[in-house]
A and B are shown apart, each in its own frame.
Chain A
């Protein structure tokens, strides 16, 4: 019974996700045509391509045919994983992006985990003292987090901790002077990870803390908390065993639904720290006018965001039985 409900829920969410992905593909198709001049430029980029390649692409994408045929061919090419070729990097766009995406995840996932735990702990500390100085401090902090240009925050961290204090490396993902392997290599990467990860974390903690505060406040006002207190449980036990599990559900959703937001944050931070992930690829591709790569990054990140949304819904549904029966988002 339980399983079939969850399966039906998954189907409903896929029914939402597939049209959205289709719309994203169409947006990408439209972008090719907004370039002033020939759409072929958007498909190849400005990097010198071998002679004959333009004609091959023109044929593959049916650029001399009616728009609807072009759209069909475009979707067909995408379905085959044909996102174009990056002449600046001498490899197919899809492979290039997937390879760089790993490095972005190395930066993003620890930052997300840290931001989530930090945000929850801060909210647990602040919410029971609503209106106190500490509580308003948390609200102010999240407002500041929303208003900080994340790339500037990155620059400030570099100036402070790398350049003035010489504590941490300013750029890159590993030391260039030595060739490390095994554990020393891992430690070296972690060492380089600290500053950019910290930048993404601050950016993200702003959202988590705000939502977590609201959901802790909500959980605190529930009857079961009163019961737990009446049983004579210690304050700490009430918070950690009764309030926390209930407050976690909205936090899980806010993290999942903001996957795109944190991805954007990571991309901007990468450009400051020369972290070799998607952000770095993005900014060098802007410089090279390597358009297929830019479009590929948009396409794959947008699809990743949709998948993250569906995954979040599933996690939500498995945590909260009320959602499954309605099959509704935000239920």
Chain B
């Protein structure tokens, strides 16, 4: 544990990214108590360029952009974490079962996973959300359904490697039943790379949610960064701040989770040099 932490902290970019993510989590938790105007509050001060009164300007309905960005953290993080968690759980269960028991089940599962990896996932997600209607739960479900194969493949490989190790045979000799061995001995030892993959899925999910909202596939009353870019698109000529700032928020957040995922992956890999 100590050594893993030391290895992790040697990735300066990873530490910086972790600090930024922590800050975002705090902002998201504090959403109801954030100072400044309500981001849905319409005012007369429409399309104001950044100033002391509105640090990042206002939009076509006089809503404060900074306030919108701060409140948007909640949506992005909720979608990112929920989708990644769901995808990871599904992927771990399916991948572990397939890898441990092998045979026809393994073949079938891996075939299904392959189909999901080949299809253009963003287009599929957009079609499903367009047909079934927007809503955070739906978006999270769709992203999780599209992302689980990444985890499942990784998990399957790890489980296949670990199940052949001696300590697993030792446990089996004690008379422990197979499902219990899988759940208590094999899966916990296979989780390290999954943690890194899960963090990268957070980044993908945030990016995907932003793209869906940008296309108008989110509830209009939800404050989200992609939604802000969607209105920014209509006012590119007269209000650059409507797209520059929300986009920066998406970019930095996705970048942070990507860096974090890479750093976690490197730190948990005992074979990598520090």
Contact = CB atoms under 8 A, between A and B. Distances in A.
Interface of A: 19-20, 23-24, 27, 31, 34-36, 42, 143-144, 146-149, 151-152, 155-156, 158-159, 163, 170, 260-261, 263-264, 267-268, 271-272, 282-283, 286-287, 289, 291, 294-295, 297-298, 301-302, 305-306, 309
Contacts, number: 131
Contact of B131 (A27, A31, A156, A158): A31
B77 interface: no
A143 B243 contact: no
Given A282-B126, A294-B130, A294-B131, A149 B254 contact: yes
A139 to B, nearest CB: 10
A283 B207 CA distance: 18
Contacts of A294: 126-127, 130-131
A155 B124 contact: no
Given A159-B243, A286-B216, A36 B251 contact: no
Contacts of B128: 31, 34
A297 B254 CA distance: 27
Contact of A143 (B112, B120, B259): B259
Contacts of A152: 229, 243, 247, 250-251
Interface residues of B, number: 42
B150 interface: no
Interface stretch (B63-71, B165-173, B231-239): B231-239
Contacts of B211: 149, 151, 268
Nearest to B200: A146
A156 B248 CA distance: 10
A162 to B, nearest CB: 8
A155 B243 contact: yes
Contacts of B251: 147-149, 152
* Chain A CB within 10 Å, residue with most, of B131, B133, B207: B131
10 contacts: A24-B119, A148-B251, A149-B226, A151-B229, A282-B215, A287-B216, A289-B130, A295-B131, A298-B119, A298-B123
A31 B229 CA distance: 28
A301 B243 contact: no
Contacts of B262: 143
Nearest to A257: B118
A158 B255 contact: no
Given A19-B111, A143-B258, A149-B207, A158 B127 contact: no
B93 to A, nearest CB: 21
Secondary structure dominating the interface of A: helix
* Chain A CB within 10 Å, residue with most, of B120, B124, B217: B120
Contacts of B122: 264, 267-268
Nearest to B114: A20
A143 B123 contact: no
Contacts of B214: 149, 151, 268, 271
A151 to B, nearest CB: 5
Given A148-B251, A286-B217, A264 B119 contact: no
B5 interface: no
Given A19-B111, A155-B232, A163-B237, A264 B120 contact: yes
A147 B126 contact: no
B244 interface: yes
Given A268-B211, A287-B216, A305 B254 contact: no
B132 interface: yes
Contact of A42 (B114, B131, B210): B131
CB-based closest 3 A-B pairs: A152-B247, A260-B120, A147-B255
Contacts of A35: 131-132
Contacts of A156: 243-244, 247
B254 A286 contact: no
Contacts of A289: 130
Interface in B119-170: 119-120, 122-124, 126-128, 130-133
A186 to B, nearest CB: 27
Nearest to B253: A147
Contacts of B119: 24, 27, 260, 298, 302, 305
Given A19-B111, A31-B131, A147 B236 contact: no
Given A143-B258, A155-B247, 16 more contacts: A19-B111, A27-B119, A34-B132, A35-B131, A36-B132, A36-B133, A149-B250, A151-B211, A151-B229, A159-B243, A263-B123, A282-B215, A294-B126, A298-B120, A298-B127, A302-B120
B120 A286 contact: no
Contacts of B216: 283, 286-287
A24 B258 contact: no
A264 B127 CA distance: 13
B182 to A, nearest CB: 27
B236 A163 contact: yes
A20 B118 contact: yes
Contacts of A155: 229, 232-233, 236, 243, 247
Given A147-B251, A147-B255, A149-B254, A297 B240 contact: no
Contact of A301 (B123, B131, B237): B123
